[in-house]
Each structure stands twice: as C-alpha cells, then as structure tokens.
Amino acid sequence: MIEQKLKQIGLSDKEISVFLCVLQYQKITPAKVSMITKINRPTVYSVSKELSFKGLIDFDEAGSSKYLVSLGEGALENITKLQEAKIVQIKKDLPTIVKELKQLPKQGKYSIPKIRFVDESRLREFLISESSKWADSAEAHDKTWWGYQDHTLLEHYEDWADHFWTKFPKDIVLNLLTNKKPVETKVMKSKKYKSLRNIRYWKGVNEFTSTHVVVGDYVLMIVTREHPHYLVEIYDKMMAENLRNLFKGIWEQIS
C-alpha cells in the first residue's frame, strides 16, 4: 500500500492522510481536509505546516480563505534533500558533541560489553566498524583467527572480507575450517590477500551451517545460512583462550 511506503520515508499517519487528501484535490481548504480525513482542524493546520516545511504542500492565502495547495507527486524528492541536509549537519556537529561528552564526569570505569547481539539490519555495518577492534585483539595474542565457517558468510559479506584483509592485514592470518564451495575454491582464491587465509576442509564432516571463530579475546558466532542473519559477540578472555586451544588442536590433526 502507498501509505506503508510513505511511512517508510518518514511521514506520520496524519501527515500521510493530509498529504494524500491535498494531492487528490490539488487545492483544498483545511476545513474540508478535516471533514474528509476526520482529523480535527487545529491538527490539520499543524500537520500542514510540517508538510509545508518538508516541501510537500504549500499555502495559498491570497484570498479571504486559506487553501492548502498540492506541489505534486514529485515534491516527495524534497524529503530526500531535507534528510541529506540533516545528515550533513549531524556529521558537522558530531565531533563537537563527542568532545563535550568526553568532558562529562563519569562514574566508574569503562566496561566492554560481555555479550552483544547484532541483527541482520546492522550486521554489515557492525562487521566493518568492529574490524579494527578485532584486529588489535588478535595482535595482542597469536595474531590468528581460529575456527570454522559456513561458506554463506562470504556469499553474503564478501565485501567485509575485502575490507578487513586490505585495511588490517598487518601480520594477522586466518586458520579456518570451511565447506568446499565455489566461493572458497574460486572466488577467495583469486583475492590478493589469499596467502593470509589458511583454509582446510574436514573430510567426513557434514557442512558447517554457522560460523564460529575466535580472535584475540573475542568469540564470534555468526549465522548467515538463512534470514534473518545475526551475530553474537562474546568478550571473555578465558572462553576465548579455551576455544583457541581447542581449534588449534583440531587444526593440527587435519591435514
């Protein structure tokens, strides 16, 4: 429905009702909009002002009566311009805001979250934004990612792998068990960073249907076999060390 799509671009229910009514009649009084939409007249006025600010309708006050005037369907593009302007302003203000927040007195010490759940809507952004943290943690230990991988992780997030290995290669390597699929045997074999990825296939074992890796003090569990994808990050030095030793032992036994 068109109402649902208009909601997705940021219009409220009342804004949608008034906007569609004015669009249909092209030029209409607030009183008639109120009668058609069943929204009281003061609210129609306030909603109309907001729609005017967003560049979706205009006011005609030349005569004795006030009219709401449609600017046409194309006026919806003004929402994009308005949102882009807001983003520019946010980016401009953000350094100052962060600086001021750092100056606020804080009680206690900063604590790294033990467990974080990330759903599909934020997963790609999270993988990229946390890459430097995981790379630093790996550097502080054995400089290695250990674990097993469902190949669908790369099918969906190949761009994250490219980002990680081109931005944070240092001397970090990957020792990983995975499924023998084209994304590994062909796609990843063509990458410039392929020498940093040590891949083995565990004969006689059914396909891995999730990804479970240890990097430094972090344990990552990622599910990408079916939607919705999700990630669980656990920050636990003892758990990470035990799993690292487990994966090392398995790795040494698999040729």
- 230 shares a domain with 147: yes
Is residue 19 one of the residues assigned to a domain? yes
Residue with tokens 């990552």: 220
The one-letter code for the residue type at 209 is: T
Domain region containing 194: 115-253
Last residue of a domain, one of 77, 107, 142: 77
Q: Is pLDDT at 111 greater than 70 in this prediction?
A: no
pLDDT-based confidence at residue 110 (cuts at 50, 70, 90) = low
Please list, in sequence order, all residues whose beta carbon lies within 8 angstroms of the beta carbon of residue 180, skipping any fewer than 6 positions away.
201
- 34 shares a domain with 130: no
Is residue 91 one of the residues assigned to a domain? no
Q: What is the pLDDT of residue 168?
A: 78
Strand arrangement of the beta sheet that strand 173-178 belongs to: 115-119, 230-235, 218-223, 211-215, 144-149, 173-178, 197-200
- 180 shares a domain with 66: no
Mean pLDDT (the chain, rounded): 91
Q: For residue 129, what is the enclosing H or E element? A: helix 120-129
Q: Is pLDDT at 169 greater than 70 in this prediction?
A: no
Q: For residue 69, what is the enclosing H or E element? A: strand 67-70
Q: Is pLDDT at 63 greater than 80 in this prediction?
A: no
Is residue 171 one of the residues assigned to a domain? yes
Is residue 43 one of the residues assigned to a domain? yes
Higher pLDDT pick, 77 / 104? 77
Q: What is the pLDDT of residue 30?
A: 93
The CATH number that applies at residue 211 is: 3.30.870.10
Cα 217 from Cα 150, distance rounded (Å): 21
Is residue 137 one of the residues assigned to a domain? yes
- pTM score, two decimals? 0.60
pLDDT-based confidence at residue 112 (cuts at 50, 70, 90) = low
What's the average model confidence in pLDDT over 180-187? 93
In this predicted model, what pLDDT tens digit does every residue of 16-42 receive, in sequence order? 999 999 999 999 999 999 999 999 999
Q: What is the number of domains present in the chain?
A: 2
Is residue 186 one of the residues assigned to a domain? yes
In this predicted model, what pLDDT tens digit does every residue of 113-159 receive, in sequence order? 699 999 999 999 999 999 999 999 999 999 999 999 999 999 999 99
- 127 shares a domain with 54: no
The CA distances from residue 235 to 127, 134, 153, 180, in Å, are 15, 11, 21, 30
Please list, in sequence order, all residues whose beta carbon lies within 8 angstroms of the beta carbon of residue 3, skipping any fewer than 6 positions away.
13, 16, 20
